Every structure is written in structure tokens, then in C-alpha cells.
């Protein structure tokens, strides 16, 4: 099932007790919304928010993919969350406070039971383990390979968040202090074969120029999307992780040139001042295919 996961450029967090904001997320153009039952909901409101999120998922008719961030696995709330929100319209479950692969295995087993209970195909719902501790970041490869449904993983290095506290770096807008960390985690995830790695977060709401630079840096590293906390960030993120018209036109020209050369029995050829071959054409075809699917 994991190979069928669609790429997602933007995943916007929405408080679980404000499901009415899903319409704002969709209007902003988010590829996915993450309904948050963990940090965004106070303890006294967990039960009511769970019922609210379950109803929102079951009645959602939009194109935007829906995820739910459940509560940590160290309490019964996580099991209650999973049973309540599992539905054919649920795209994925975001798993917080992951420490080791065993956490992913437990969540995968629990989610499988819920899928069976609801008559769904096993593995249909993606599982997104959040790498929020030093131990989890170090074990990124093992966590990503713990369950076939694992997807959309990455190093989420927001200002003042769990990762900053765990690692001890000093956050800066340039992201230089986490560049090596984001690169290594991405390599682990790619080696594990987990699809559609995503990064994040940018927490300064009004600094769209800084967000754009950070998103473009993540795209240059090889990430396919980012998590976000504010609707105003979505257009910037979507643009950063989407090829522009000039890129798409160049991909089409490259493919045509390579295929024409192959018909003549040629391999590597010169294209617009650069040496290209079938590997570059394959990448161009994949980019065009993703663009057509959106």
C-alpha cells in the first residue's frame, strides 16, 4: 500500500476542537489537514474533541486529505482515538512522541485492528511517526521500516519545539544549524523506501520570505512537502514544492530530445548546454507525472 501514497506538498495542522477550520484549510489550498488531538487540545477537552474529529472525518467530502494526530501511545487515549477516527475517508494517522520502532509496530497493530473492525483493507491508512526526540531521529531508518504503512516522515525542526529541546541547537531563520540533521534523516527515509518525506515547521506567521527560503531549502535537499501551522503559509509552501511552467516545459523538451536520440541509437547527449541521458529523462517524466496528478 505504501507505494500508492500520493505526494503531499502541504500538511496544515488544525486544532481538533476547531474542525470548522477545515474549510479554511481547504480554501488556503492545503493538500492535507492534520486534525490535532494532542497538543492543540487541553486535557479536559480531549473526549469532546475526539467525537468532533470523528464526525468531521466521517462527513468530509472535500478533496483535501485528512490526517489525525492522536495522543501518545503511553495512555489509553491513543487507542480510543484510533477506534473513533478510523474511517474510509481518513488518509493517515500522525503518531507523536515516537521513541523507537516498537512504538510504530504497536501503532500499526492497533490501526490494523481498527481497519478490520471498520471493514477496511489492512494498510489502507498511512502512519506518520513524528521524530521528536534524539533517539527517534537517530533511529529514523529503523522507524521508517518498522511498518509498510509508514509514510510522510521527516525532520520537523520548528523553532522552540520538541526537536530543538532534544538536540539543543539554537534555531535560526537560515536553518544552518539543522541542515545536516534534516539531510541525514532524509537519507535514512529514502534508504528505507518510505514514500513522500515531509519537513517543517516554520512558526513565524508573518515572515513569508523566511518561510519561502526555508521551504526552498527543504525542497533542494529532497523533501517533497512541509507541515504548516497557519493557512497563510500554504500558498508559499505549495509554490516551493511545485515545478513552475518553465520547469515543466523544460522537462517536456528534455524528454523529447532524449527519446529522439535513443531512436537514433545515441545515449548521453547535449541538451541546452548540459549532458543528459535516460536517468535525467526518467526524473523529468516523474516530475511531469506528479504535476499532472495534482
pLDDT per position as a tens digit, 187-227: 999 999 999 999 989 999 999 999 999 999 999 999 999 99
**Domain residue limits, the chain:** 2-240, 245-293
- In this model, does residue 169 exceed pLDDT 90? yes
Counting other chains too, the contacts that 246-253 makes at CB distance below 8 Å and 24 or more residues apart are 247/287, 248/287, 248/288, 248/291, 250/284, 251/284, 251/285, 251/287, 251/288, 252/284, 252/288
Q: What is the mean pLDDT of residues 18-25?
A: 96
Question: Which residues lie closer than 8 Å to 129 by C-beta, 6 or more apart?
Answer: 95, 98, 103, 104, 107, 136, 143, 144, 146, 150, 153
Q: What's residue 260's pLDDT? A: 82
How far is 27 from 40, CA to CA, in rounded Å?
21
What the block records as the C-alpha cell of 172 is 535560526
pLDDT tens, residue by residue, 261-277? 888 887 778 888 888 88
pLDDT of residue 261: 83
Average pLDDT, the chain: 92
Strand order in the sheet with 10-15: 126-129, 90-95, 65-69, 32-36, 10-15, 225-228, 198-199
Q: How far is it, in rounded angstroms, from Cα 104 to Cα 100?
A: 7
pLDDT band at 294 (very low <50, low <70, confident <90, very high): low
**Whether the predicted model's global pTM rises above the 0.75 cut:** yes
Binding-site residues for substrate: 69, 132
Bind-site residues: 69, 132, 162
Write the pLDDT tens digit of every residue in 134-151.
999 999 999 999 999 999
What residues form the annotated binding site for Mg(2+)? Answer: 132, 162
pLDDT at 101 exceeding the cut of 60: yes
Class of domain 2-240: alpha beta
In this structure, how many other beta carbons lie within 10 angstroms of the beta carbon of residue 193? Answer: 12
Residue 177 has φ and ψ, to the nearest 5°, of: -70, -20
User: Exposure of 142 by Cβ count < 10 A (0-12 exposed, 13-18 middle, 19+ buried)?
Assistant: middle
Q: What span, in angstroms and rounded, lies between the C-alpha atoms of 128 and 160?
A: 21
* Residues linked to residue 189 through DSSP beta bridges, in sequence order: none
What is the per-residue pLDDT across 224-259, written as a single tens digit (0 to 9) for each?
A: 999 999 999 999 999 999 887 777 788 788 888 888
Has residue 289 got a pLDDT over 80?
no
* CA 107 – CA 197 distance, rounded (Å): 19
Per-residue confidence at 1, pLDDT binned at 50, 70, 90? Answer: very low
Contact call for residues 86 and 117 (beta carbons, < 8 A): yes
Amino acid at each position: 500500500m505504501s507505494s500508492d501514497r500520493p505526494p503531499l506538498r502541504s500538511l496544515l495542522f488544525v486544532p481538533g476542537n476547531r474542525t470548522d477550520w477545515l474549510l479554511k484549510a481547504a480554501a488556503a489550498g492545503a493538500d492535507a489537514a492534520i486534525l490535532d488531538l494532542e497538543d492543540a487540545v487541553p486535557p479536559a477537552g480531549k473526549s469532546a474533541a475526539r467525537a468532533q474529529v470523528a464526525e468531521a472525518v466521517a462527513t468530509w467530502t472535500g478533496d483535501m486529505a485528512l490526517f489525525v494526530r492522536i495522543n501518545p501511545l503511553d495512555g489509553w487515549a491513543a487507542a480510543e482515538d484510533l477506534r473513533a477516527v478510523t474511517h474510509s475517508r481518513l488518509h493517515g494517522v500522525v503518531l507523536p512522541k515516537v521513541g523507537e520502532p516498537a512504538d510504530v509496530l504497536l501503532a500499526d497493530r492497533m490501526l490494523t485492528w481498527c481497519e478490520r473492525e471498520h471493514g477496511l483493507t489492512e494498510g489502507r491508512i498511512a502512519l506518520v511517526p513524528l521524530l521528536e526526540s534524539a533517539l527517534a531521529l537517530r533511529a529514523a531508518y529503523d522507524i521508517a521500516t518498522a511498518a509498510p504503512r509508514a509514510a510522510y516522515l521527516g525532520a520537523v525542526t520548528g523553532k522552540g519545539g520538541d526537536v530543538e529541546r532534544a538536540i539543543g541547537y539554537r534555531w535560526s531563520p537560515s536553518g544552518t544549524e539543522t541542515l545536516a540533521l534534516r539531510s541525514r534523516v532524509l537519507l535514512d527515509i529514502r534508504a528505507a523506501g518510505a514514500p513522500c518525506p515531509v519537513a517543517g515547521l516554520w512558526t513565524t506567521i508573518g515572515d513569508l520570505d523566511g518561510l519561502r527560503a526555508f521551504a526552498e531549502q527543504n525542497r533542494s535537499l529532497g523533501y517533497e512537502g512541509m507541515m504548516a501551522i497557519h493557512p497563510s503559509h500554504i500558498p508559499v509552501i505549495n509554490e516551493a514544492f511545485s515545478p513552475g511552467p518553465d520547469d515543466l516545459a523544460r522537462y517536456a523538451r528534455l524528454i523529447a530530445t532524449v527519446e529522439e536520440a535513443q531512436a537514433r541509437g545515441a545515449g548521453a547527449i547535449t541538451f541546452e548546454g548540459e549532458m543528459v541521458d535516460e536517468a535525467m529523462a526518467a526524473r523529468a517524466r516523474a516530475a511531469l507525472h506528479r504535476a499532472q496528478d495534482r
